Amino acid sequence: KQEVTQIPAALSVPEGENLVLNCSFTDSAIYNLQWFRQDPGKGLTSLLLIQSSQREQTSGRLNASLDKSSGRSTLYIAASQPGDSATYLCAVASGSNYKLTFGKGTLLTVNP
Amino acid sequence: DAGVIQSPRHEVTEMGQEVTLRCKPISGHNSLFWYRQTMMRGLELLIYFNNNVPIDDSGMPEDRFSAKMPNASFSTLKIQPSEPRDSAVYFCASRNPGGQETQYFGPGTRLLVL
């Protein structure tokens, strides 16, 4: 059974700092790994999707890496802003139906 | 596109009552997912439809939960009878044909069972 763990559970940083969120998964037989953002009271928004054959994806100030063999991914946020404050969830797609298994998320607070 | 639409956004009911949650996926998407999110367990997949057919319902907690997708533009998740431990946020998501694409989530229904 696939399990996804995210560390840390919560993170508070001052504005402008670069930061890294971590995600690990137990079964390396994945199709892709995705990072989502969830704002309070809202649904999830996809940030980055890394296919299993890829090593990283970038979008603006966000960079996600994937090391499938070790079961790890990181989400790097450069020059953090208060608007980046949200919960960040990692999910891996595996199994015959590309089922997504989610971590419990990292609650990020960026202080002005 | 309006995105995935869920209704109601909030539901408060008493234990034992029937609850019906509704979802309209993004037009053209052929896969639909129902998730439940709680603080304790995080986000869990309840059931997954492909082309209106239930493919994987292994996450449905018990017989009190049922889901239907009568056509490509509408799905329901029903809880009967509801219990306080069903209190959670229920999300619907849809996806383009082909499993390698991301899922698009609705805003969720916040359910409180008293």
Is B98's pLDDT higher than 70?
A: no
Chain B residues close to A36, C-beta within 8 Å:
105
Q: Longest Cα pair distance anywhere in chain A, in angstroms? A: 45
8 Å CB contact of A100 and B103: yes
Using the 8-state DSSP alphabet, how is residue B83 labeled? -
In the block, tokens 């009911």 appear at: B13
Distance CA A31, CA A28 (A): 9
Distance CA A45, CA A87 (A): 11
Is B102's pLDDT higher than 90?
A: no
Which residue, among B9, B2, B14, has the nearest Cα to B91 in the 3D structure?
Answer: B9
pLDDT tens for each residue of B23-76: 999 999 999 999 999 989 999 999 999 999 999 888 898 899 999 999 999 999
- B4: contact with A, CB 8 A cutoff: yes
Chain B residues close to A105, C-beta within 8 Å:
42
For CA atoms A61, B1, B97, B111, give the dihedral sign.
positive
Distance CA A51, CA B77 (A): 31
8 Å CB contact of A97 and B56: yes
Which residue, among A37, A43, A39, A31, has the nearest Cα to A92 in the 3D structure?
Answer: A31
Is B1's pLDDT higher than 90?
A: no
